[in-house]
């Protein structure tokens, strides 16, 4: 073996070893973040009951948004397919879960507190059914996605939002119409989230505390599946499809098939997000799943960085939690007006903030938070690799 070949093998081995070390560090970092998030409810002991419930509910909402944002960034950033119908698939998942989990006979004495009849499925089975229904809805859209692309695909998908709103307002037996539907109690493997007490290390978990861990488990599973898809053959095909449909077709990628795959998988993520949204809201109405929710999801993935799963999680946390935090501390913020006063409320202020964040990132860092994080990592690596300056000899 020549010296050049030996040097190349040694270099390849060094690169492989460096990648393995980097992968283990990234895995340890992600595991540490998950552990910290799991321990966060235990650190809320210094807050009163209202404060604990606020942070736990905000976190559960953020977890649902993270799952939905992962699905959208897989479609838009991973496959290059513009969709403005994400809120429609979230609504399909939410209403699908509520219908499947509701008892077979209506319960309640008044309209405001009644649980409408449904299929009577257990919680886990109802969630799985909601995900499958949302995925089937995404698959039904695939013939349209195969014929149009770009902005035309976005406009075509936007029609689903209006169709979904019309159905939700008029299908009384399914959605409850304008009044919406109450979400049944959560019974997970015989464990009731509403009535069964749960205490750990002196901390008593309410319904929102239990939903915190359910949402966290959903985010972890969704993230792991997303990463595995990207690393496999489907991920390579989707990236090729994103870069150029013509080139993908020449290379043997079935463009129609993988477009359908991307829309189906993205809508399944949205369906899971919708089911968790329904659990946290405890009562869902059609207005929740309008065009504003689609815009919020687009803001999440743009802020986080298109195609970055970690960036999607950060963007979802920022966009979903900001309105609640501003509303929580509106008394201490002079630019926040009380709801109904005609001024800038917490929700409007949050829209201004993340709207400005989107503009600033598009101007100065189109790659979003993910690109900023990569820059920071490279900067830290260069500082660590740079040799220390030689010490100057002390004067005699």
Asked whether 296 and 312 are in contact (CB, 8 A), the reply is no
Residue 247: the pLDDT is 87
Does residue 351 belong to any structural domain of this protein? no
What local confidence, expressed as pLDDT, does residue 34 receive?
A: 86
What domain range includes position 52? 21-288
Asked whether residue 40 is assigned to any structural domain, the reply reads yes
Of 340, 315, 345, nearest in space to 330 by CA: 345
For residue 5, being part of any structural domain is answered with no
Residue 325 CB partners (closer than 8 Å, separation 6+)? 58
Q: What is the DSSP letter of 78?
A: I
CA pair distance 274, 265, nearest whole angstrom: 14
Sequential pLDDT tens for the chain (396 residues) = 555 555 554 555 554 555 555 667 778 888 888 888 888 887 776 566 677 788 888 899 999 999 999 999 999 988 888 889 999 999 999 999 999 988 877 765 444 445 777 778 888 999 999 999 999 999 999 888 888 888 888 888 998 999 999 999 988 888 888 888 888 888 877 677 776 666 666 666 777 888 888 999 999 999 999 999 988 888 899 889 888 888 888 888 888 899 999 999 999 999 999 999 999 988 899 988 988 899 999 989 988 888 888 889 998 998 888 888 777 776 666 666 666 666 677 767 777 787 788 788 778 877 778 788 778 777 777 777 666 555 555 444
pLDDT at 183: 87
- Residue 31, in any domain of the structure: yes
Q: How many distinct structural domains can be found in the chain?
A: 1
The pLDDT of residue 2 is: 58
Residue 355 lies in a domain: no
List CB contacts of 260: < 8 A, sequence separation 6 or more.
139, 142, 145, 146
pLDDT of residue 108: 55
Q: Which two tokens stand for residue 311?
A: 């960036």
pLDDT of residue 345: 73
Residue 365 domain-assigned (yes or no): no
> In the numeric block, which tokens belong to residue 7?
């040097």
The residue assigned the tokens 């861990």 is 213
Q: What is the pLDDT of residue 110?
A: 44
Domain annotation covers residue 328? no
Tell me if 174 sits within 8 A of 15, measured CB to CB.
Answer: no
Establish if 370 belongs to a structural domain: no
């Amino acid at each position: 073996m020549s010296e050049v070949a030996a040097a190349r093998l040694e270099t390849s081995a060094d690169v492989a070893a460096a990648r393995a070390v980097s992968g283990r560090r990234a895995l340890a970092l992600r595991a540490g973040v998950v552990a910290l998030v799991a321990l966060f409810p235990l650190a809320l002991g210094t807050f009163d009951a209202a404060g604990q419930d606020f942070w736990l509910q905000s976190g559960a909402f953020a977890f649902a948004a993270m799952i939905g944002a992962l699905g959208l960034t897989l479609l838009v950033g991973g496959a290059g397919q513009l969709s403005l119908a994400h809120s429609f698939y979230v609504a399909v998942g939410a209403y699908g879960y509520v219908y499947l989990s509701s008892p077979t006979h209506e319960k309640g004495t008044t309209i405001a507190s009644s649980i409408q009849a449904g299929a009577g499925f257990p919680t886990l089975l109802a969630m799985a059914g909601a995900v499958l229904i949302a995925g089937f809805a995404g698959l039904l859209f695939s013939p349209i996605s195969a014929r149009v692309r770009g902005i035309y695909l976005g406009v075509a998908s936007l029609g689903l939002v209006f169709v979904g709103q019309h159905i939700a307002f008029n299908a009384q037996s399914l959605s409850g119409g304008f009044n919406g539907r109450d979400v049944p109690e959560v019974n997970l493997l015989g464990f009731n989230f509403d009535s069964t007490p749960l205490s750990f290390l002196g901390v008593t978990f309410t319904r929102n505390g239990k939903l915190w861990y359910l949402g966290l488990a959903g985010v972890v599973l969704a993230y792991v599946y997303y990463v595995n898809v990207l690393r496999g053959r489907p991920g390579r095909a989707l990236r090729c499809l994103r870069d150029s449909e013509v080139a993908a077709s020449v290379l043997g990628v079935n463009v129609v098939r993988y477009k359908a795959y991307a829309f189906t998988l993205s809508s399944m993520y949205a369906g899971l997000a919708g089911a968790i949204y329904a659990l946290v809201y405890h009562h869902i109405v059609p207005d929740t799943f309008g065009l504003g929710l689609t815009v919020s999801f687009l803001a999440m993935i743009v802020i986080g960085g298109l195609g970055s799963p970690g960036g999607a999680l950060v963007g979802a946390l920022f966009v979903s939690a900001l309105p609640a935090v501003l509303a929580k501390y509106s008394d201490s913020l002079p630019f926040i007006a009380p709801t109904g006063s005609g001024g800038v409320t917490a929700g409007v202020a949050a829209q201004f903030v993340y709207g400005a964040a989107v503009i600033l990132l598009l101007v100065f860092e189109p790659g979003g938070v993910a690109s900023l994080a990569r820059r920071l990592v490279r900067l830290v690596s260069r500082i660590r690799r740079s040799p220390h300056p030689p010490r100057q000899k002390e004067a005699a």
